[in-house]
Amino acid sequence: MGILEVKGVNKRFGGLQALGDVNLSVAENTVHAIIGPNGAGKSTLLNVLVGKLIPDSGSVMFDGQSVLGRKPHEINQMGISRVFQTPEIFADLTVMENVMIPCFARRDGAFRMHAIERVSNEKGIREEAEAILEDVAMLDKRDMTASSMSRGDKRRLEMAMCLVQEPRLLLLDEPTAGMARADTNNTIALLKEIKQKRDITMCIIEHDMHVVFSLAERITVLAQGTPLVEETPENIKGHPKVREAYLGEAQV
């Protein structure tokens, strides 16, 4: 039994079968990559996992509990965090505030009426936030407004915001897209380090095969909304079905 069990999930958008009978099992404390050509349904699958979309049929179990029908914030409080394909950060807030908010969410839950307490007095939260900024090498940018940062920095900030919550399952949607090589390598190193430090399961969508093969222990290939194969990285490289899926895209 994996920590995440997806069974028979279907999702249609009008005439388009975005997800067709998706089965996926992600084992605890592993890195599981999902690859596939553009439009294969990878982001749609993540949307189902975090409660942004409700599938037409099928079941999604996280740690033995169904996530379907729960609100996004409830699913997050169960221990699932997500990095988006286009970074979702608090653009008008400072970098420091951006990472403090998930710290509050983890400590105080989905809502707490803390209208009189002072942010400047929250020593524990500040330390936690500073520690994660140190980890992603952004401590020097703590007082910058998030919107004024480069795209690469925004991605790293979003990752820091997810990591500081210490989720049990981290979903990453193309975390290195648009990053320079050096930044990509830093991200790989960061994720490896996090993985070593503590128990975490990661599910990563990626186009960059270098990232996939550096991190993943299992790989699922998705094409036209349906998983084609699930294999170890060694076995996937020359797999005929994988070639077919990607060549199919090249021909279009």
Ligand X SMILES: Nc1ncnc2c1ncn2[C@@H]1O[C@H](COP(=O)(O)OP(=O)(O)O)[C@@H](O)[C@H]1O
Q: Which residues bind ligand X (CB under 6 A)?
A: 13, 16, 18, 36, 38-44
**Helix (H/G/I), strand (E/B), else coil: 172:** strand
Rg (CA), the chain: 19
Q: How far is the CB of 72 from other proteins (least distance, A)?
A: 4
Q: How far is the CB of 43 from ligand X (least distance, A)?
A: 3
Q: If contact means CB under 5 to 8 A according to the sort of partner, which of other proteins, ligand X, Mg ion, none does residue 88 touch?
A: other proteins
Instruction: Annotate 195-235 with DSSP letters as a single string.
Output: HHHS--EEEEE-S-HHHHHHH-SEEEEEETTEEEEEE-HHH
Q: How far is the CB of 188 from other proteins (least distance, A)?
A: 23
Nearer to other proteins, 145 or 224 (CB): 145
Nearer to Mg ion, 43 or 76 (CB): 43
Q: If contact means CB under 5 to 8 A according to the sort of partner, which of Mg ion, ligand X, other proteins, none does residue 110 touch?
A: other proteins
Q: If contact means CB under 5 to 8 A according to the sort of partner, which of other proteins, ligand X, Mg ion, none does residue 91 touch?
A: other proteins
Interface with Mg ion includes 47 (CB under 5 A)? no
- Rounded distance between C-alpha atoms, residue 224 and residue 214, angstroms: 26
Binding site for other proteins (CB under 8 A): 50, 71-73, 76-77, 81-82, 84, 88-93, 97, 100-102, 104-106, 108-120, 122, 161, 165
The set of residues, in sequence order, having a beta carbon less than 8 Å from that of 188 and lying 6+ positions away, is: 176, 211, 214, 215
**Could you tell me which of 138, 129, 147, 132 has the C-alpha nearest to residue 92?**
147
- Maximum separation of any 2 CA atoms in the chain, in Å: 62
Q: How far is the CB of 49 from ligand X (least distance, A)?
A: 12
Q: If contact means CB under 5 to 8 A according to the sort of partner, which of Mg ion, other proteins, ligand X, none does residue 109 touch?
A: other proteins
Q: How far is the CB of 19 from Mg ion (least distance, A)?
A: 13
Interface with Mg ion includes 76 (CB under 5 A)? no
**Could you tell me which of 224, 219, 160 has the C-alpha nearest to residue 30?**
219
The set of residues, in sequence order, having a beta carbon less than 8 Å from that of 149 and lying 6+ positions away, is: 95, 141, 157
Q: If contact means CB under 5 to 8 A according to the sort of partner, which of Mg ion, other proteins, ligand X, none does residue 18 touch?
A: ligand X
Q: If contact means CB under 5 to 8 A according to the sort of partner, which of ligand X, Mg ion, other proteins, none does residue 62 touch?
A: none
> Site for Mg ion (CB under 5 A): which residue of 26, 43, 70, 76?
43
Q: How far is the CB of 170 from ligand X (least distance, A)?
A: 17
Residues at the site binding Mg ion, with contacts judged by CB under 5 A:
43
